[in-house]
A = this chain, B = another copy of it.
């Protein structure tokens, strides 16, 4: 039985490149590649251009280190936001989740990761010195550490608290426990432990 080598086929090549994105398997990649073959020329050109220029177009905001197109991001430029409270997050997606909640009107600080010694991620790999310098400037009064409540996120929060407290800011941590709308019955053991330990008086 012949098993043709498709290395030179533009479709197989596109599919192989798409399959290198996280969570995109071989079959999904081929489905996406074929959807691009069928898509209109204008869209395909726009997508190609957006991908090809993303590195040049994005930079770190010089205040909060979020990804943005300008020297200072939209949020850090927004005079209506409370500059005395910053929310320290691991990645840009987390900022979007908090934005969606509509429950925070301060500024952010994006670490671009969490401490993870096993993967070689230490403070130098994160935007930690930028955070310390920013807090050291005196405008910030509270830092909410909103890394995810898992081993790395908790360790990062404790580490940052130790560095930030001497600078005279209040350091807090987002609450964790049973999700709103979730069922206690189905919550995992660690979440139930945390929900009990962090109980609040009514």
Q: Are B52 and A48 within 8 A (Cβ)?
A: yes
Q: Which of B13, B50, B81 contacts A50, CB < 8 Å?
A: B13
Q: Which of A28-82 contact B (CB under 8 A)?
A: 28, 30-37, 39, 41, 43-55, 57-58, 67-69, 74-75, 78, 80-81
Residues of B within 8 A of A49 (CB): 48, 52
A2-B105, A9-B68, A96-B30 known; A58-B78 Cβ under 8 A: no
CA distance A14 to B24 in the complex (A): 17
A33's nearest neighbour on chain B, judged by CB, is B54
A22-B32, A74-B4, A99-B3 known; A44-B52 Cβ under 8 A: yes
Q: Are B17 and A50 within 8 A (Cβ)?
A: yes
Q: Are A20 and B37 within 8 A (Cβ)?
A: no
A: contact size bracket: 35 or more
Interface string of A75-91 (1 = CB under 8 A from B): 10010110000000001
CA distance A71 to B17 in the complex (A): 24
Residues of B within 8 A of A22 (CB): 31-32, 35
Residues of B within 8 A of A166 (CB): none
**A126 part of interface (Cβ distance < 8 Å):** no
**A202 part of interface (Cβ distance < 8 Å):** no
**A144 part of interface (Cβ distance < 8 Å):** no
- A17-B50, A34-B92, A45-B52 are known contacts; what are 10 more A-B pairs with Cβ within 8 Å? A2-B78, A9-B74, A10-B50, A11-B54, A22-B35, A30-B96, A34-B67, A37-B58, A44-B55, A49-B52
